[in-house]
Amino acid sequence: MPEHAPNVVILLNDHQAHYRHGWDDGPRVRRPQFDRLRGAGVTFERAYCQSPLCSPARRSIVSGRYPHSHGEIRNDTGTPFDEPTLFSELAAAGYAQYYFGKWHAGPGTAQDLGAEGFSYPSYNNPYTKPEYATYLASRGLPEPTIQVERSFHPPDWGEPLEGLYRQTGGWCNEHAIGVLQSPDDTHEAYFLANLACEQLDRLAAEDSERPFSMVVSFWGPHAPYFPTQRFLDMYPPGDIPPYGSVHDDLAGRTEVHWREGNHPMGAGDRLVQPSALSWQEWQRVLAHCYAQNTLVDDAAGRILDRLDALSLTDHTLVVWLADHGDAIASHGGHFDKRSYLTEEVLRIPFALRWPGGVAAGQTVRDRVGQIDILPTVLDAAGAPPPAGIDGASLLPLVRGEQGWRDEIVCETHGHGEKIVGRALIGSRYKYVAYDGIGEELYDLVTDPYELHNLTGSPEHHGRLAASRERLRDWRAATGDPTTPDGALSDTGRGTGA
């Protein structure tokens, strides 16, 4: 064990699914920097977000609580930060703290919680900020310009997204594909990596014994998928085979799976079946998506390089994960995400590296979640976890010192609609209950794409009943609010464990 509390660097990607790392038989998404990190540390193969939506998931990361407990149940719910956070606890442990990038974890910014750096309220858009303009000017970089190939917004969305385009709106989450015409370094991912590297340089020059924590929160690889051409060239569209559920007819699935607001994938907020895009069209979309994944990976690699160059690697715990997954081309041809709790939107890439703190080259297949980030970081820092959190430190697990939970739970309170649901995920079976809508049960070993709902199978009735009971027990144990008739509530705030 290291003698001193480590520095902490958290790399947070937005909207990145684990399943793009080899579930299908096509070209594996290239993430050499993520592979570099996990090869020197621990990979969590069954890592799940606590909600497939930015604000509730990000709040779970910084609070160690399930969404029903921390209260930020949807994007921009606005629940006050009246519980301990990663920032408050690391400050109490003596850490200097920095945050660069997308916030979207609740009201205010990371600076309001004591972290220096660059963040703005809600989702926002880095390309419109004075810090970004200064960055371009200092490097002689041009304004970023995109050649849009295709937009998937509905016809009434507003100004047409076509031709040469600049991201000047309040948010930079256009549902579109295209190619960034300016250099790599004009992409937000490289801008944020540069801010982080400059701060690392300053910290190394100070040569202080005070540990630091740093979060670098990229806006990518979330859509819009606007990589530069060199990354797009890595993924010939014709080499991408059909994804395992792109032709899913949703037979036996709950109504939740039919919601789709993008165009032409959806019409009247309902998924078009069969898919309105041919597989050749999907190949173009996926090539851009995969390329953007690789671009963000490359940018984050500069931070790992700087840690090496400044001799900080051996004294730094690095955690790399995503806030939630991505439903692109799954379950009949979705784009983005909605309120469904599929593996594509729930399962995320997650790895950590801590030289001297955890053995390198490990792969953990237990179910872990974002609620475990805060207690893990505090454990490494030698600080106690706050009372009432739902997560647990991963360090005893990776060191083989104790057992672990059998199942993990993920939540939705709806995205663009009030749909309340919970997914109870074990080593093999996954049970999903949507309040007032229906249930689903899947065998993830024989049916990893969740094509066959087993709730109607007589041989699984016992397992279904047992899953219902375990979910009821979990609700009681975590203070998950219920209405008087026993249904899940989306209005209350739980008490936590």
Domains parsed from the chain with CATH numbers: 7-406 (3.40.720.10)
- In this prediction, residue 24 carries a pLDDT of 55
Which residues are paired to 147 by β-bridges?
A: 164, 179
Cα dihedral value 64, 53, 22, 391, nearest 10: 10
- The residue whose two tokens read 């699984």 is 460
- Do 66 and 390 contact (CB within 8 A), yes or no? yes
Q: How far is CA 44 from CA 19, 293, 366, 375, 413, in A?
A: 13, 19, 8, 16, 26
- In this prediction, residue 489 carries a pLDDT of 56
- Do 235 and 24 contact (CB within 8 A), yes or no? no
Which residues contact residue 24 at a Cβ distance below 8 angstroms, ignoring those fewer than 6 apart?
241, 243, 244
Mean pLDDT to the nearest integer, 303-307: 99
User: Which helix (H) or strand (E) covers residue 37, if one does?
Assistant: helix 32-39
Q: What is the spatial distance between Cα 423 and Cα 439, in angstroms, rounded to a whole number? A: 10
- In this prediction, residue 19 carries a pLDDT of 65
- Do 95 and 45 contact (CB within 8 A), yes or no? no
Residue 341 has pLDDT above 60, yes or no: yes
Q: What is the spatial distance between Cα 102 and Cα 411, in angstroms, rounded to a whole number? A: 22
- pLDDT band at 173; cut points 50, 70, 90: confident
Q: What is the spatial distance between Cα 229 and Cα 242, in angstroms, rounded to a whole number? A: 23
Which residues contact residue 122 at a Cβ distance below 8 angstroms, ignoring those fewer than 6 apart?
76, 103, 104, 171
State the helix-helix crossing angle for 279-309 and 188-206, rounded to 10 degrees. Answer: 10
Mean pLDDT to the nearest integer, 42-62: 97
Q: Hey, is 435 helix, strand or coil?
A: coil
Of 188-197, 410-419, 486-495, where does mean pLDDT reach its minimum? Answer: 486-495
pLDDT of 425-458, one tens digit each?
A: 999 999 999 989 999 999 999 999 999 999 999 9
Residue among 153, 279, 303 nearest 165 (CA): 153
Q: Hey, is 43 helix, strand or coil?
A: strand
Q: What is the spatial distance between Cα 182 and Cα 163, in angstroms, rounded to a whole number? A: 15
- The residue whose two tokens read 């959806």 is 266
pLDDT of 218-231, one tens digit each?
A: 999 999 999 999 99
- Do 352 and 319 contact (CB within 8 A), yes or no? yes
| DSSP annotation of 53 | S
User: Which helix (H) or strand (E) covers residue 495, if one does?
Assistant: none
